[in-house]
Amino acid sequence: MAMEGGAQPWGILLSIVLLYTAIEGSSSVQHKVGDLDAWGPPPSGKSEIYSAWSQSRSFKIGDSLMFLYPPSQDSVLQVTAAAFESCAVDDPIWKMDDGNSVFNITSAGEFLFISGIPARCQRKQQLRISVLAADGSSPSPGGIATVGSVPAVFGPTSASVAAPMATGIAMAASSLLLVLFFQVLAR
């Protein structure tokens, strides 16, 4: 069965499915660090909770990290590899201390975060994430990404605004797909 202009109905449906997949896969995600109530020292017996959490996720450019914590009790520092290993808090790349800190991921690479309180860092309140390049490749080893990062944002972030927008576009594409599917069936 051919449609006007010689297009096959299944070819059109396949094109719409591919468009839907591309739109759905391009949305940004805001990750609540650790999926815990707050950024804080790991619970007893779970010292690797932040490591396990970051390894179970895929981070990409456009995503963001949300650190929640009482501002009077803690802070988040983006640090170098040496500071990460030694829990050195004196010279961070960036400091976030408002209690509702959002780190926007704007470049590929490795990002390292620690508590601003050395004793908490020593108890493994540390986060290491690797962000894939736009083409999906892993970042080159050894480099800490800092250029292009916009660590602290107050109010809505691009990720929290982009996610509902992408969802709306995906829903519209789904609706269009269903309409076209039923039109093909009706022929």
Kindly report, residue by residue over 169-185, the tens digit of the pLDDT: 555 555 555 555 656 66
Phi then psi dihedrals of residue 63, to 5 deg: -75, 170
Can you spell out the DSSP letters for 138-152? Answer: PPPTTPBP-TT-B--
Q: What is the pLDDT of residue 136?
A: 73
- Confidence at residue 155, expressed as pLDDT on a 0 to 100 scale: 34
Q: What is the pLDDT along the chain (187 residues), one digit of tens a residue?
A: 555 555 566 566 555 554 554 444 558 999 999 887 889 999 889 999 999 999 999 999 999 999 999 999 999 999 999 999 999 999 999 999 999 999 999 999 999 999 999 999 999 999 999 998 877 776 655 445 443 444 444 333 434 444 444 445 555 555 555 555 656 666 6
* CA pair distance 166, 169, nearest whole angstrom: 5
Q: What is the pLDDT of residue 118?
A: 97
Helix (H) or strand (E) holding 30: strand 30-32
CA distance 3 to 23: 26
CA distances from 17 to 6, 9, 28 (A): 20, 13, 20
Residue 181: what pLDDT?
60
CATH classification at residue 37: 2.60.40.420
Taking residue 165's Cβ as centre, other Cβ atoms within 10 Å add up to: 11
How many separate domains does the chain show? 1
pTM of the model: 0.65
* Domain around 100: 4-186
